[in-house]
């Protein structure tokens, strides 16, 4: 009993000291985050060795229904980050579930990022979660200088004889997503206005102009350029292709043909 109580005391004290750096550079078990270009980015500093895994969990209600959305790829000591490329509209509550090599488990603080549905609709096409985490190394944290505010005068200058602590400024997280068009090594792709993944359902939406005047067809290919799905004739102005037709997650290239001629080539993500 004494050894357990001592360990808990040590853990508790480490939480207190880590809180000193929470705003400037959050250390575990504290995390921070922000939305950037339609994706949610979480960031923190890991000051411990011997971590077996870090699972990122998300919920819409902050207390219950947390589900794992991915794992941190690099668990080495230092700055770590996770990118949620497909956040839900509304409130997204995040927490980390940390497992050490000794099987000791922790949970981080809960952090909320609220996402407007318009931001999701305007987000670019991104790779599946595992590939997206390769961008985590480009995450940067910019911290503004702390400010002092007198609660009595509500001004930047304290009244004489008044001691006011500096208010920590919230960090701004910057994620550098490449703006280049798709290529075999690219991460970001130009979204088609005709064939695209619905960010809310994950299914593929097809919306075609003048569908009665022209004959449309669509072919989908995997990363090895093998045809995985063929829609021989599109007879409706709007069509939904169930994501289960693709059998696995990933990026797929499509060719949209109008009267048997290629009208557009693009990419979709199945997640």
- In a shared domain, residues 109 and 209: no
Judge whether 119 lies within some domain.
yes
Q: Shortest CA distance to 41 belongs to which of 128, 107, 167, 137?
A: 137
Give this prediction's pTM: 0.56
**pLDDT for residue 176 is more than 90:** no
CATH of the domain at 261: 2.60.40.10
What pLDDT score does 160 carry?
54
Which of 125, 142, 159 finishes a domain? Answer: 142
What pLDDT score does 131 carry?
62
Q: In terms of C-beta density within 10 A (0-12 exposed, 13-18 middle, 19 or more buried), how is residue 218 classed? A: buried
Judge whether 177 lies within some domain.
no
215-240 pLDDT, tens digit each: 899 999 998 889 999 998 888 888 89
Which of 142, 177, 210 finishes a domain? Answer: 142
Judge whether 187 lies within some domain.
no
Residues 6+ positions from 233 with CB-CB distance below 8 Å: 215, 216, 217
Residues 194 and 207 sit within 8 Å (Cβ to Cβ): yes
Measured CA to CA, the distance from residue 108 to residue 122 in angstroms comes to: 31
Structure tokens at 78: 């230092």
Give the mean pLDDT of 120-145: 65
Judge whether 233 lies within some domain.
yes
Which of 109, 142, 175 finishes a domain? Answer: 142
Q: How many domains does the chain have?
A: 2
- In a shared domain, residues 224 and 101: no
Measured CA to CA, the distance from residue 268 to residue 110 in angstroms comes to: 32
SS3 16: helix
**Conformation bin of residue 110: beta by default, left when phi > 0, alpha when psi is -120 to 50:** beta
Q: Shortest CA distance to 269 belongs to which of 38, 14, 24, 6?
A: 38
What pLDDT score does 244 carry?
92
- In a shared domain, residues 12 and 131: yes
- In a shared domain, residues 17 and 86: yes
What pLDDT score does 148 carry?
41
**pLDDT for residue 212 is more than 90:** no
Judge whether 98 lies within some domain.
yes
- In a shared domain, residues 10 and 82: yes
- Side-chain-side CA neighbours of 29 within 13 Å: the count stands at 20
- In a shared domain, residues 134 and 211: no
Residues 6+ positions from 81 with CB-CB distance below 8 Å: 41, 42, 43, 44, 72, 136, 137, 139
- In a shared domain, residues 7 and 88: yes
Domain that holds residue 51: 2-142
Judge whether 158 lies within some domain.
no
Measured CA to CA, the distance from residue 243 to residue 238 in angstroms comes to: 16
What pLDDT score does 220 carry?
95
Rounded alpha-carbon distances, angstroms, from residue 126 to 172, 178, 188, 191: 22, 10, 5, 9
What pLDDT score does 189 carry?
59
- In a shared domain, residues 222 and 137: no
**pLDDT for residue 145 is more than 50:** no
- In a shared domain, residues 237 and 115: no
User: What's the sign of the alpha-carbon dihedral 180, 183, 184, 190?
Assistant: positive
Judge whether 181 lies within some domain.
no
Structure tokens at 75: 């668990």
Judge whether 189 lies within some domain.
no
- In a shared domain, residues 112 and 216: no
Give the mean pLDDT of 80-108: 90
């Amino acid at each position: 009993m004494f050894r357990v109580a001592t360990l808990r005391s040590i853990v508790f004290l480490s939480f207190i000291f880590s809180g000193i750096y929470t705003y400037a550079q959050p250390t575990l078990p504290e995390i921070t985050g922000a939305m950037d270009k339609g994706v949610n980015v979480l960031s923190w500093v890991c000051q411990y060795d011997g971590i077996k895994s870090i699972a990122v969990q998300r919920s819409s209600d902050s207390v219950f229904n947390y589900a794992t959305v991915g794992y941190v790829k690099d668990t080495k000591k230092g700055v770590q980050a996770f990118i949620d490329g497909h956040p839900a509209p509304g409130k997204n509550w995040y927490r980390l579930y940390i497992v050490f090599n000794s099987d000791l488990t922790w949970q981080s603080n809960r952090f909320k990022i609220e996402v407007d549905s318009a931001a999701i609709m305007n987000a670019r096409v991104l790779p599946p979660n595992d590939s997206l985490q390769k961008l985590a190394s480009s995450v940067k944290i910019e911290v503004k200088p702390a400010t002092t505010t007198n609660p009595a005068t509500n001004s930047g200058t304290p009244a004489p004889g008044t001691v006011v602590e500096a208010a920590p400024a919230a960090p701004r997280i910057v994620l550098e997503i490449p703006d280049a068009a798709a290529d075999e090594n690219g991460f970001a792709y130009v979204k088609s206005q005709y064939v695209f993944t619905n960010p809310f359902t994950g299914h593929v939406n097809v919306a075609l102009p003048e569908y009665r005047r022209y004959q449309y067809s669509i072919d989908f290919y995997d990363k090895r350029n093998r045809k995985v799905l063929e829609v021989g004739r599109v007879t409706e102005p709007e069509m939904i292709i169930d994501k289960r037709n693709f059998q696995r997650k990933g990026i797929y290239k499509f060719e949209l043909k109008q009267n048997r001629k290629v009208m557009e080539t693009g990419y979709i993500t199945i997640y």
